[in-house]
Amino acid sequence: MKHKLKMILRQVWARFLYHTGLHILLGKLMPQRLTILTSHCVTHKTNAFLPQDMKIEGRRLEALLDSFGKHYDWVSVGDGWSRLQSAQGRSMVALSMDDGYHDNLEALLPLLQKRGLSATVYLESRPLDGQSLNWTHKFFWLLARMDHKQLVERYLAHSQDPLAKQRLAEVLAAGGDLNYTLKKVLKYEADQADVEASLTAAFVEAGGDEPALCRELYLSWDDAKALHAGGVELGGHTVHHWVLSGLDAAGQQQEVSGGQQRLATQLEASRSFAYPFGRHWDWNQDSSDAVRSAGFATAATTHAGTNTRSTDPMRLSRWMIDDNTPMHLMATELCGGFELLRKFGLDLSE
């Protein structure tokens, strides 16, 4: 009930600010902010099998760039954070894209270049290096060819992890939102090496070609260099895109600094980092320590909100958006409308 009331208040407040035009005035009155909108892909033939909530249509994105650009400066995350520290200029909005998908070069860059804008692409380094994908892509690729039940059956045929086998059998028997529960078990409960091995076996069995899929779906280092030359900031997002909190401190260090080293070797060391998956349970103090010691100035989460000078740079807020994210809610976050209520103890931003 409390959550429902919060959702109603959130809608009423955002619609009021947006449709009266007050969001423009409030945006000028509130202290300088950097709001980060984030996604993974611009809808493109290369990412057709990825879920809709990972993508945004090119035309929709253009509308956002043009509309929000009237009142705020579009910046990269790195530039935005520097400008916040110097307290210069108007409030800012940044677009970030996670992982390093191929469409970022073919579909995103032309939209940015047409407007002379920058963005930040956080790169997971292994796909750019080794023609190898993390398991989530094999999971989505398989789901484009079979239903959840068939996928679990194929998984169980290959898995050697008794705990995961037991949990997946329970999930199947319980029904409900299989997509959500399956991902949860695979991400947080199962042995990660077994998840990789089992999904790879199921993927190959179904005719999947990992290097070919990797080349189609992800950027190469040459592509990343072309993005960078086009004015896009490249950030760190680890080597393998594993859940950092599932690793010990040394393992986290390897993941974070390994990604930074690949950026430094191919291009230049980056100042911006994003935690894989980005929820607060996906990383911990060891992760932030690793991020700092690898030379990054900021680390971004996937918790919605806006950022000010006083935001902890190791936990920048970012809002995961897709084609269904309403304009009035985004406009309210950007103008500081949710931030204002937070000052009065009312948090409606997520």
- In angstroms, the CA 128 to CA 148 distance is 29
Shortest distance, CB of residue 261 to Zn ion, whole angstroms?
A: 19
DSSP string, 83-103: HHHHT-SS-EEEEEEEE-BTH
Shortest distance, CB of residue 136 to Zn ion, whole angstroms?
A: 9
The smaller minimum CB distance to Zn ion, of residues 30 and 316, is found at: 316
- In angstroms, the CA 115 to CA 111 distance is 7
Nearest C-alpha neighbor of 330 from the set 60, 90, 108: 60
Shortest distance, CB of residue 147 to Zn ion, whole angstroms?
A: 25
The smaller minimum CB distance to Zn ion, of residues 98 and 210, is found at: 98
Give CA 9 to chain center in angstroms. 27
Q: Which stretch binds Zn ion (CB under 5 A): 78-86, 91-99, 252-260, 322-330?
A: 91-99
Shortest distance, CB of residue 270 to Zn ion, whole angstroms?
A: 15
Shortest distance, CB of residue 130 to Zn ion, whole angstroms?
A: 17
Strand partners for 92: 34, 73
Backbone torsions φ then ψ of 309, nearest 5 degrees:
-55, -35
Nearest C-alpha neighbor of 256 from the set 239, 242, 270, 277: 239
- In angstroms, the CA 208 to CA 111 distance is 32
The smaller minimum CB distance to Zn ion, of residues 24 and 243, is found at: 243
The smaller minimum CB distance to Zn ion, of residues 98 and 223, is found at: 98
Shortest distance, CB of residue 337 to Zn ion, whole angstroms?
A: 28
Give CA 87 to chain center in angstroms. 27
HSE value, Cβ hemisphere, 13 Å, CA-based, for 283? 29
The smaller minimum CB distance to Zn ion, of residues 99 and 339, is found at: 99
Indicate whether 255 belongs to the interface with Zn ion (CB under 5 A).
no
Shortest distance, CB of residue 137 to Zn ion, whole angstroms?
A: 11
Residues in contact with Zn ion, shown as a per-residue x/- string from 45 to 84 under the rule CB under 5 A:
----------------------------------------
The smaller minimum CB distance to Zn ion, of residues 98 and 194, is found at: 98
Q: Give the tokens for residue 222.
A: 């040459």
Q: Which stretch binds Zn ion (CB under 5 A): 61-69, 92-100, 290-298, 317-325?
A: 92-100
- In angstroms, the CA 334 to CA 227 distance is 26
Give CA 272 to chain center in angstroms. 13
Q: What is the 3-state secondary structure (H, E, C) of 310-341?
A: CCCHHHECCEECCCCCCHHHHHHHHCCHHHHH
Q: Which stretch binds Zn ion (CB under 5 A): 15-23, 93-101, 294-302, 306-314?
A: 93-101
The smaller minimum CB distance to Zn ion, of residues 72 and 283, is found at: 283
Shortest distance, CB of residue 179 to Zn ion, whole angstroms?
A: 18
Dihedral of alpha carbons 341, 343, 348, 350, sign: positive
- Residue 261 identity (one-letter amino acid): Q
The site that binds Zn ion (CB under 5 A) totals a number of residues, namely: 2
Shortest distance, CB of residue 12 to Zn ion, whole angstroms?
A: 33
Report the residue number whose CB is nearest to Zn ion: 98
Q: Which stretch binds Zn ion (CB under 5 A): 80-88, 90-98, 190-198, 342-350?
A: 90-98
Question: Tokens 């004015």, residue?
Answer: 231
Footprint on residues 95-114 left by Zn ion (CB under 5 A): 98-99
- In angstroms, the CA 250 to CA 237 distance is 17
The smaller minimum CB distance to Zn ion, of residues 76 and 136, is found at: 136
The smaller minimum CB distance to Zn ion, of residues 240 and 271, is found at: 240
Catalog residues that contact Zn ion under the rule CB under 5 A.
Answer: 98-99
